[in-house]
Chain A
Amino acid sequence: MIALSSISKALVACLMSAAAGGVAAVMLAVQGHGVTAALVCAAVVANAVGFHFLRRANSGVAKAIHVMEQAAMGNLRVRVLNIRGTGGIGRLQRSINRALDQFEAFAKEADAAMGAALSSRYYRKIMPRGLRGEFVRYSHCINETMDRMDEQNRKLGMFTSRMLKDAVSISMTVNEGAVANAEIVASIDQIASQTNLLALNATIEAARAGEAGKGFAVVAGEVKALSNQTARATTDISTRVANLRQEMAVIVNTMTRGSDAIAKGRQSMQSMGGRMGTVSQTVADATDSMAEVSRILAQQAAAANQISGGVQKMAHLAESNAIAIEKSSSALINVEGEVAALLALLAEQDIPNKIIMLAKADHVLWKKRLVDMLIGRTALRAEELSSEQQCRLGKWYYGPGSMPFRSHPAFAALEEPHRQVHREGIEAVRAYNAGQVEIAMERIARVQQASLGVLANLDRLLEAPTTPSAGRGAF
């Protein structure tokens, strides 16, 4: 014991005083001072009693010291046991226990509440009942924070699930769109390969016909070029659709990892916004390229029609080539079916200026029916052919759908050739049915001429900077 406490010093003093008293008592007794010796003896006994209580106090303080030293090290489990008496030392020991009870209760509550918050059980709050003073204040503060975390977590959860739902529905729409695109691509492919066949056929026939087939060969070459162009457009669409799909998969994947999203919250929302922008751009691109393809298709159909015109001339020039013409023509029949199917598909798609593109294709098919009549494939009656007001283009032209285009010069220029196409076509049928084949052919040539005017003006309209949605709602 190097550093003695006051109690320890008092204990030592007690011992020394008792020893001195004992010696004094013996000496006094030997010298015959009996009364004085007895008094000193009494003092020694009193000293011993004091020593006993001092020792008890000393061990009580030692226990308190031991507990507080451990508590100071962060061990809140320790307590003072076997507390005796209601004096100062006993009160000190009880107060130490009470303080540790409060500390430990608060620590246990905070631990449990924070642990629960970690697993989103925000209802497990600190129970302030039984706590006192500042512990109550701290408890309320933590509980308020938990309420707020709960609320934010709920909001974030709602937001995430809404985003997830959006993403799923977007990806579904895109998938549906992709399926539709794939169908279009497939039918374009088919047409392209059939057109190629047709061109090959025509080239062979042109070679056989010699000088007379020269014009025919030029057309055949054009058809071939067109079909190659179509094939290119097809691959273009396919890649775009594939890109779009991949992009969607990335988004859906990002959103499914919802738990990360909570931590990275705002950041991922921002990048999500960016991605959404890219996706809508890609969708717009795909739509553009579909429009492009449908325009190419219309041109292709026109070219196919020119072939059939050429085929007709060939029929007149050489009766012997009739069988070959029949072959080419039956290939054309397939094209007609494909074009019609494509038209139906196109009609279902929401493409800007759709009506104008459809009108172009309609007129190509219309002309083809005339040619079919000429080569004897079908019989036509004049009443069957529609007037320029009743066809799809006519309905659009004279109806409200064309409002946004009416100020365009090509719009006015379109009316006359269009009327001529119908008038000459109907006259051609009349002449043919009256046995005047020569006149019918002349009129069909005029139909062809007028039809070029229609197509040219339609193309000018398509390039017009009118509102892109002008063609929508016309159906």
Chain B
Amino acid sequence: MVASKLLTGVARTFGDDEIIVSKTDATGRITYCNDVFIRLAGYTESELLGQPHSMIRHPHMPRTIFKLLWERIGAGNEVFAYVVNRCKNGDHYWVLAHVTPDRDEAGKVVGYHSNRRTATAQALAVIEPLYASLRDIEAGTADRKAGLEAGWARLHDILAEKGGDYDRFVLDI
């Protein structure tokens, strides 16, 4: 697992007319990933299927954002979030992820779905410093749980300054 922590600092990109798609079961294990996903992440399909989605988690992602993500989709809502992912070889790629519950014909949630689009440089100019500050706050306490709570509080302070609506904030930048 030491190898998985390696970061090259190399950014990978994909086309504006491409979407990176993945699906998970209700617990977050990957049940499908498309060819764009496979190309960017650098894993094979069989390496990815059945694994937890945190397999491509990048250490720079604040935990606060994933807490927000799970809270939203757990309540049956859609969520947009800027996410940086880590490739198998330590490269990374930024995406604007849209995560939604997948429902069967009866309306029951059977898993989750994510479409990821390219992130604009303009958005990243806002997001990267924000995530860096959240990460610092999260790491600022000895207790992991307290760190997450502090990050959560900070995010909501920032949102309150910008009008209080996370969706508007994330779609407007």
Contacts and interface: CB of A to CB of B under 8 A. Distances in A.
Interface string B93-107: 000001010101100
A473 to B, nearest CB: 53
Contact of A108 (B105, B113, B118): B113
Interface in B103-159: 104-105, 110-111, 113, 115, 117-118
B83 interface: no
Contacts of B32: 79, 81
Interface string A78-114: 0101110000000000100110011011001000100
In the complex, which range does the number of interface residues on chain A fall in? 20 to 34
B105 A105 contact: no
Nearest to B78: A112
A97 to B, nearest CB: 6
A97 B34 contact: yes
Contacts of B35: 94, 97-98
Interface stretch (A125-133, A227-235, A417-425): A125-133
A112 B100 contact: yes
A81 B45 contact: yes
A123 interface: yes
Nearest to B102: A77
A101 B34 contact: yes
A75 interface: yes
Given A75-B105, A123-B171, A104 B34 contact: no
Given A112-B78, A129-B118, A130-B115, A79 B167 contact: no
B21 interface: yes
Contact of B19 (A79, A94, A105, A121): A105
A289 B148 CA distance: 75
A98 B34 contact: yes
B46 interface: yes
Contacts of A98: 34-35
B46 A82 contact: yes
A124 interface: yes
Nearest to B31: A81
Contacts of B19: 101-102, 105, 130-131
Contact of A77 (B23, B34, B171): B23
A94 B39 CA distance: 13
Contacts of B161: none
A108 B49 contact: no
A147 B172 CA distance: 15
Contacts of A132: 17
A77 B115 CA distance: 13
B45 A82 contact: yes
B23 A124 contact: no
Interface string B32-47: 1011000000000110
Residue from the set B16, B32, B167, B168 with the largest chain A CB neighbour count within 10 Å: B32
Residue from the set A75, A112, A129, A131 with the largest chain B CB neighbour count within 10 Å: A129
Contacts of A94: 35
Contacts of A108: 78, 98, 100, 113, 115
Contacts of A121: 167
B168 A123 contact: yes
B18 interface: yes
Nearest to A97: B34
B34 A83 contact: no
Contacts of B23: 77, 79
Interface in A46-96: 75, 77, 79, 81-83, 94
A83 B45 contact: yes
A131 to B, nearest CB: 8
Interface of A: 75, 77, 79, 81-83, 94, 97-98, 101-102, 104-105, 108, 112, 121, 123-124, 127, 129-132
10 contacts: A77-B110, A77-B111, A82-B46, A94-B35, A101-B34, A105-B19, A105-B21, A121-B167, A123-B168, A124-B171
Given A79-B34, A83-B45, A97-B34, 7 more contacts: A77-B23, A77-B113, A97-B35, A98-B34, A108-B113, A129-B118, A130-B115
A-B residue pairs, 7 tightest by C-beta: A130-B19, A130-B117, A129-B117, A79-B32, A101-B21, A105-B115, A112-B78
